[in-house]
Amino acid sequence: MTFKGLNLSMSDTLFSKIINREIPADIVYEDDLCLAFRDVNPQAPVHILVIPKKPITKIADATETDQSVLGHLLLKASDIAKEQGVGDAFRLVFNNGTGAGQTVFHLHLHILAGREFSWPPG
Ligand code: DGP
């Protein structure tokens, strides 16, 4: 897989490098299973990515063995959103696959908040 001209293996994406502190990020939460950091290209006043430490490529590639980590990501995303002071007005998004806008192939949950959102999303 290539990204920005770099050759990246599945376990060597930008997000694995953020987990390993090989590239910097504005980290807002970390535990044994996940890491949350601010998106470098924010699409809302609050735009945070929550990622599993396990390098799952995308939600469609997750299996039953990933059930608890996926639930963990959702519950932590809710906690993190609340800590950002946006009340219950936030949107959670998984982009799955290139056709749906996924650009980094390490599963990530977008937390977006702090502005009005339209529906359907673009
Ligand atoms: P997606 O399009 O769903 O694959 O979202 C990938 C997001 O990752 C995109 O909003 C930009 C963000 N991103 C890409 N590279 C970096 C990086 O090096 N650091 C941070 N903090 N975010 C990144």
For residue 80, give the CATH number of its domain.
Answer: 3.30.428.10
Domain contains 115: no
Q: Of all protein residues, whose CA lies closest to atom 23 belonging to ligand 1?
A: 40
Q: How far is the CA of 116 from the centre of ligand 1 (A)?
A: 21
For 45-54, the pLDDT digits (tens) are 999 999 999 9
For 76-111, the pLDDT digits (tens) are 999 999 999 998 999 999 999 999 999 999 999 999
36 DSSP 8-state letter:
E
Structural domain boundaries enclosing 98: 2-110
Please say if the pLDDT value at position 4 is more than 60: no
Domain contains 37: yes
Q: Residue 14 CA: which ligand 1 atom is closest? A: 18
Specify whether the CB–CB gap between 58 and 109 falls below 8 A: no
Task: Please tell me the predicted confidence (pLDDT) of residue 122.
Answer: 80
Query: Which residues pair with residue 81 across a beta bridge?
Result: none
Domain contains 99: yes
- Ordered alpha helix ranges (H), 13-86: 14-19, 67-83
- Let me know if 108 is a catalytic residue: yes
**Which among 47, 72, 106, 108 is annotated as catalytic?**
108
Please say if the pLDDT value at position 73 is more than 70: yes
Q: Which two tokens stand for residue 54?
A: 């396990």
What CA–CA distance (Å, rounded) separates 27 from 104? 17
List all residues whose CB is within 6 A of at least one atom of ligand 1.
Answer: 14, 23, 25, 37-41, 49, 95, 101-104
Whole-prediction pTM value? Answer: 0.92
Domain contains 121: no
Domain count, the chain: 1
Domain contains 94: yes
Domain contains 118: no
Q: Which two tokens stand for residue 68?
A: 């608890």
